[in-house]
Amino acid sequence: MDFGIVELSRLQFAMTAMYHFLFVPLTLGLSIIVAIMETVYVMTNRPIWRQMTKFWATLFGINFVLGVATGLTMEFQFGMNWSYYSHYVGDIFGAPLAIEGLMAFFMEATFVGLMFFGWEKLSPVKHMVVTWLVAIGSNFSALWILIANGWMQNPVGAHFNPLTMRMEMTSFFDVVFNPVAQAKFVHTVSAGYVTAAVFVMGVSSWYMLKGRHFELARRSIAVAAAFGLASALSVVILGDESGYETTHNQKMKLAAMEAMWETEPAPASFTLFGIPDQQDRETKYAIHIPWVMGLIGTRSLTEQITGIDELVKGSEERIRNGIVAYDDLLKIREAKGDVSADVEKQFNENVGDLGYAYLLKRYVDDPRQATDAQIKMAADDTVPTVWPIFWSFRLMVALGFSFIALMVYFFVVSNWKGMQYPRWALRLAVIVIPAPWIAAELGWFTAEFGRQPWTVDGVLPTALSVSHLSVGDLLFTLLGFVAFYTVLFVIEMGLMIKYIKKGPYQDVEVTQEWLQRHDDRLSGRDGNAPVTMPAE
């Protein structure tokens, strides 16, 4: 096994996936914000809301297209770079990807053209429905992708078939309603909504600071603050942790996130700060807050969170069981399934640990020949590198809480303080625009780096999942992606900034005229009595 290939494949996947996720969160959230704005337009028939819809939809479009383009890479990369993975779990993992195409992506992509080209060809209500279908399609997309990803974290509803040498589905229901997947879905789309809300608030604040497009900006902030507040609460409260107790490796990830080397009596304390030391298995300079971790991790005061050392001992035992399963597997394959009931029974008892035997393939070709020292090393491999997970998780959580604070503030000012935003708040809103992206990337990093050394938790090690490629292949495509994606990113940012600077450019006259009339009506200049309570 060539370690270079594994590292390069991981690097390429991480890079292309994280790049893809620069565009996805904004698509998820902005599609809904645009649909909300258009709904207000259809209900009130006020041109300002149509202008807002079209303006934010333009920015949505610039972002959306790169999400689609880079999503192509994701769909193909499993087969291109992870061919053994694709063979080994395609029977389960492929299904949600295909359903995503059938149910969600087709809808989103078919209607997005009409969303931009259909203003003249559709009635307002029909156009609004089209916009909603795009938003719903994108969000359903996320659901199926996260069902696929959730299965990698918690592989339920499947069993190993020795004759086809792969995992096969036993319960579609279990795969779809995998608790890890459901938690991930809520967490991820909420994060997307926060991203879009921060983006809309930031851009609108910039307009306010510049004294431009005030009417568009204040209405946009009102929508974004309300939508963003609900989402920011949802991200944190309905966090991603509910599934961390389900499997051995999810427990390992939780322990790594907390740098919890030894099992503590329940409820465990939360390490606010510390420098994890993988070598000595301790966290230096740690500042603990009692009880909090137990509450976050288990939602109880009595359940324990298992520490890393204890989990490694468990891994060692599972490796030994896995070797038994591996031995039986060879017998079954040799006889094409025609083996004695005893062998079959023993195999079925241990097959759940077969993946652990594969961990030995890094050290020895035939896991049955492994020495005790090698088993020990393989067991140690089940601990991911702790400090990056520990820190990325903390940073993400801190950002998450700061979004709640930001949204609460803007929500209060927009609803009860007459939308009189102080300049410092507007500046802050502009500055934090990149923050939700950082938080989202950190979140993915925590989840996926924390899953190591597995691609599918406990079933298939990452090192075994790769394609039989050469270093030359990988360097070529890796450099190709870096160059290509960098150019695209520069172009995208350039266009985004250009169109933000340009501001709303559609329906300018009709909106201006309406605003004038609206203003006259409110102030009584149109001859009627002044309206004391503005309608919006």
Partner 1 sequence: MILYELIPLDVLRVIWWLLLGVLLIGFALTDGFDMGVGALLPFVGKTDSERRVAINTVGPVWEGNQVWFILGGGAIFAAWPPLYAVSFSGFYLAMFLVLAALILRPVGFKYRSKRDSAAWRNGWDWALFVGGAVPALIFGVAVGNVLQGVPFEFNDMLMPLYPGNFIMKLLGLLNPYALLAGVVSLSMLMMHGAAWLSVKTEGAVKVRATEIGSVAGMVAFVAYILAGIWLAFGITGYHITSVVPDNGPSNPLFSTVEHSGSWMQAYADRPWIAIAPILGLAGIAMAVRGLRAGREVSTLLWSKLGIFGVISSVGLTMFPFILPSSKMPDASLTVWDASSSHQTLFIMLVCALIFMPLILAYTAWVYKVLWGKVTVEDVERDSHTVY
- As to burial, measured by CB atoms within 10 angstroms (0-12 exposed, 13-18 middle, 19+ buried), residue 422 is exposed
Task: Tell me the C-alpha distance between 26 and 437, whole Å.
Answer: 9
- Site residues (CB under 8 A) for partner 1, limited to 125-164: 161, 163-164
Q: How far is the CB of 325 from partner 1 (least distance, A)?
A: 14
Q: How far is the CB of 11 from partner 1 (least distance, A)?
A: 15
- Cβ nearer to partner 1, comparing 269 with 506: 506
Using CB under 8 A, pick the residue from 17, 18, 39, 119 that binds partner 1: 119
- Cβ nearer to partner 1, comparing 365 with 380: 365
Interface with partner 1 includes 124 (CB under 8 A)?
A: no
State the binding string over 489-518 for partner 1 (x if CB under 8 A, else -): --x---x--xx-----xx------------
Q: How far is the CB of 276 from partner 1 (least distance, A)?
A: 36
Q: How far is the CB of 509 from partner 1 (least distance, A)?
A: 14
Whether 33 contacts 225, CB under 8 Å: no
- Find the part of the chain contacting partner 1 (CB under 8 A) among 38-46, 168-176, 202-210, 303-311: 168-176
Q: How far is the CB of 272 from partner 1 (least distance, A)?
A: 43
Q: How far is the CB of 465 from partner 1 (least distance, A)?
A: 10
Using CB under 8 A, pick the residue from 265, 418, 472, 534 that binds partner 1: 472
Question: What's the Cα-to-Cα distance from 63 to each of 132, 193, 361, 441, 484, rounded to whole Å?
Answer: 17, 15, 43, 17, 17
- Cβ nearer to partner 1, comparing 13 with 393: 13
Q: By rule CB under 8 A, what count of residues binds partner 1?
A: 77
- Site residues (CB under 8 A) for partner 1, limited to 401-420: none
- Site residues (CB under 8 A) for partner 1, limited to 58-117: 61-62, 65-66, 68-73, 75-76, 78-81, 83-84, 86-87, 90-95, 97-103, 105-107, 109-114, 116-117
State the binding string over 171-200 for partner 1 (x if CB under 8 A, else -): xx----------------------------
- Site residues (CB under 8 A) for partner 1, limited to 322-341: 333, 336
- Site residues (CB under 8 A) for partner 1, limited to 366-385: none
The CB density around residue 421, as the number of other CB atoms within 10 Å, is 23
Question: What's the Cα-to-Cα distance from 346 to each of 1, 165, 331, 342, 475, rounded to whole Å?
Answer: 29, 17, 12, 6, 44
- Site residues (CB under 8 A) for partner 1, limited to 205-234: none
Calculate helix-pair angle for 83-99, 47-81, nearest 10 degrees: 150
- Find the part of the chain contacting partner 1 (CB under 8 A) among 118-126, 307-315, 401-409, 441-449: 118-126
Whether 221 contacts 414, CB under 8 Å: yes
DSSP H/E element including 277: strand 270-277
Q: How far is the CB of 144 from partner 1 (least distance, A)?
A: 10
Whether 17 contacts 455, CB under 8 Å: no
- As to burial, measured by CB atoms within 10 angstroms (0-12 exposed, 13-18 middle, 19+ buried), residue 449 is middle
Q: How far is the CB of 110 from partner 1 (least distance, A)?
A: 3
- Cβ nearer to partner 1, comparing 237 with 497: 497
Using CB under 8 A, pick the residue from 20, 46, 50, 166 that binds partner 1: 166
Task: Tell me the C-alpha distance between 255 and 252, whole Å.
Answer: 5
Q: Which of 64, 176, 178, 188 lies closest to 131 in space, CA to CA?
A: 64
Q: How many helices (H) and strands (E) does the chain have?
A: 20, 6
- Cβ nearer to partner 1, comparing 18 with 419: 18
Beta strands in 406-457 (DSSP E): 454-456
- Cβ nearer to partner 1, comparing 70 with 283: 70
Using CB under 8 A, pick the residue from 17, 286, 469, 482 that binds partner 1: 469
**Tokens matching residue 231:** 């989402």
The SS3 call for residue 282 is strand
Beta strands in 87-221 (DSSP E): 158-161, 166-169
| Encoded amino acid at 432, one letter | V
Q: How far is the CB of 114 from partner 1 (least distance, A)?
A: 6
Task: Tell me the C-alpha distance between 163 and 335, whole Å.
Answer: 10
Task: Tell me the C-alpha distance between 391 and 480, whole Å.
Answer: 31
Using CB under 8 A, pick the residue from 7, 168, 316, 344 that binds partner 1: 168
Q: How far is the CB of 178 from partner 1 (least distance, A)?
A: 15
| Helix, strand, coil share (%) of the chain residues, nearest 5 | 75, 5, 20
The CB density around residue 499, as the number of other CB atoms within 10 Å, is 16
Using CB under 8 A, pick the residue from 480, 513, 523, 530 that binds partner 1: 480
- Cβ nearer to partner 1, comparing 105 with 403: 105
Q: How far is the CB of 467 from partner 1 (least distance, A)?
A: 4
Q: How far is the CB of 478 from partner 1 (least distance, A)?
A: 10
Using CB under 8 A, pick the residue from 200, 467, 504, 511 that binds partner 1: 467
Task: Tell me the C-alpha distance between 252 and 284, whole Å.
Answer: 20
Interface with partner 1 includes 122 (CB under 8 A)?
A: yes
Q: How far is the CB of 523 from partner 1 (least distance, A)?
A: 33
Strand partners, 317: none
